Amino acid sequence: MDADTAVIGLGAMGSMAAWQLARAGASVIGFEQYGLAHDRGASGGESRLFRMAYHEGSAYVPLLRGARELWRELAELSGLPLLLPTGCLSIGLPDIPPMRNVRASVEEHGLDHEYLAPDELAARFPQHRAADGEIGILDVQGAVLRPELAVLAANQQARRHGARLLERTRVDSVRFEDDRVRIGAGGTEYAVRTVVLAAGPWSASLVPPLDGHLTVRPLVLTWFAPGDAGRYAPERFPAFIRDTDGVHLFGVPMVDGMSVKTGFADAWGDIAGPTAFTRDFDESRLWPVTEAVRRFLPGLHPDPIRYSVYLDAYTSDRTAMVGGLPGTDRAVLLAGFSGHGFKMAPVFGRIAADLALERGTGYDIGAFAPSRFIPR
């Protein structure tokens, strides 16, 4: 055998899995088709939101707690500023599902938070123009993550524990046999006991049964210059996420010393797959985000100073696939993080390592079962 476990794809999920596998004592071989921390997949763009009070449901909170501990540990081990404690402000009408979920998260799990009634929201965070009746919930443990640094840090830790990580080495084939998995990459065949499949937007080309169950979606990030820089410094302007009249906008304070980053979800449709992806994004298509910034963040100059495009893989229920790949007991699948997986990458990496090495995990991952899409 060339290793106990192979990890295919060293983006957010694969690099965290490689770290957790190697630190648990497994011999690991990892494959990445590009260089580490590249900007063509789901894990580029300088910053990511970390939220504990979760729009997508309070059931995520135990995973988020686990992730937060691992983020802190990785920051300490690497000496890199991976998690910037900015807090995260959710804005919306109190009865919309995301805000109800935020409220359930803080109440059921006793999370540190501040509830801001409409007048308090306006007085405390005048940078945001709220609609009538909108409230704010400040998630005190919310933060900004540094994705490229995090991917590098996790891979560095994996290597420190002996992992062999091959960059610019594309996996072309994965074959399951009774006692091993054969992996073809860069003209060489490798044999391992188990494999973690973490190919992000490329997952369906690697795992054909996923075809039709994952859609690939471009996400555009935009950076806007503030009129008054002091008002958007991380101490005064937390990361934020809001849902107003069908607009889903999120953003990061001025962590680069000159601009506020925003992201606007679901405005650009799906593409046929990563091969159909072009970085030449027509600037005229940015209008949904510039309109949203003009409307909701009036203190920012409404033309972005720059923008760039990334990809993520979505499932139809926007819940990831994390668990054994149906049909074999030699593969763990990490796929379909649907625009909100980065913050949980370390804990999903831990779960993948537990499943690959121990065949079980202490986390409740029933909701993520790949078998809900791929028949056993």
Ligand X SMILES: Cc1cc2nc3c(=O)[nH]c(=O)nc-3n(C[C@H](O)[C@H](O)[C@H](O)COP(=O)(O)OP(=O)(O)OC[C@H]3O[C@@H](n4cnc5c(N)ncnc54)[C@H](O)[C@@H]3O)c2cc1C
Contacts with ligand X, residue ranges (CB under 6 A) = 8-14, 31-34, 41-43, 45, 48-49, 170-171, 198-202, 206, 219, 221, 263, 310-312, 337, 339-343
- Smallest gap from Cβ 133 to ligand X, in A, equals 26
Please give the backbone phi and psi of residue 137, each rounded to the nearest 5 degrees, phi first.
Answer: -125, 115
State both tokens at 267.
């405005």
Determine how many CB atoms are found less than 10 A away from the CB of residue 245. Answer: 8
- Smallest gap from Cβ 17 to ligand X, in A, equals 9
State both tokens at 205.
């080309």
Region of 9 (left: φ > 0; alpha: ψ -120 to 50; beta: rest) is left
Determine how many CB atoms are found less than 10 A away from the CB of residue 188. Answer: 10
Please, which residue, 34 or 94, has the CB nearer to ligand X?
Answer: 34
> Greatest CA span in the chain, whole angstroms?
64
Please, which residue, 221 or 353, has the CB nearer to ligand X?
Answer: 221
Q: In what order do the strands lie in the sheet with 83-84?
A: 48-50, 143-145, 83-84
- Smallest gap from Cβ 315 to ligand X, in A, equals 11
Please, which residue, 122 or 167, has the CB nearer to ligand X?
Answer: 167
Rounded distance, CA 194 to CA 330, Å? 5
- Smallest gap from Cβ 31 to ligand X, in A, equals 4
Please, which residue, 117 or 305, has the CB nearer to ligand X?
Answer: 305
Please, which residue, 136 or 263, has the CB nearer to ligand X?
Answer: 263
Rounded distance, CA 90 to CA 121, Å? 11
- Rounded to 5°, angle at Cα 18 from 375 and 342: 70
3-state secondary structure of 310: strand
Amino acid present at 199? A
- Smallest gap from Cβ 120 to ligand X, in A, equals 25
Question: Which residue has the closest beta carbon to ligand X?
Answer: 11
Please, which residue, 70 or 198, has the CB nearer to ligand X?
Answer: 198
Rounded distance, CA 353 to CA 20, Å? 6
Please, which residue, 155 or 244, has the CB nearer to ligand X?
Answer: 155
- Smallest gap from Cβ 82 to ligand X, in A, equals 13
- Smallest gap from Cβ 213 to ligand X, in A, equals 14
- Smallest gap from Cβ 200 to ligand X, in A, equals 2
Please, which residue, 106 or 289, has the CB nearer to ligand X?
Answer: 289
Answer yes or no: are the C-beta atoms of 347 and 63 closer than 8 Å.
Answer: yes
Q: Residue 237: which residues within 8 A CB-CB, separation 6 or more?
A: 125, 127, 231, 253, 254, 260
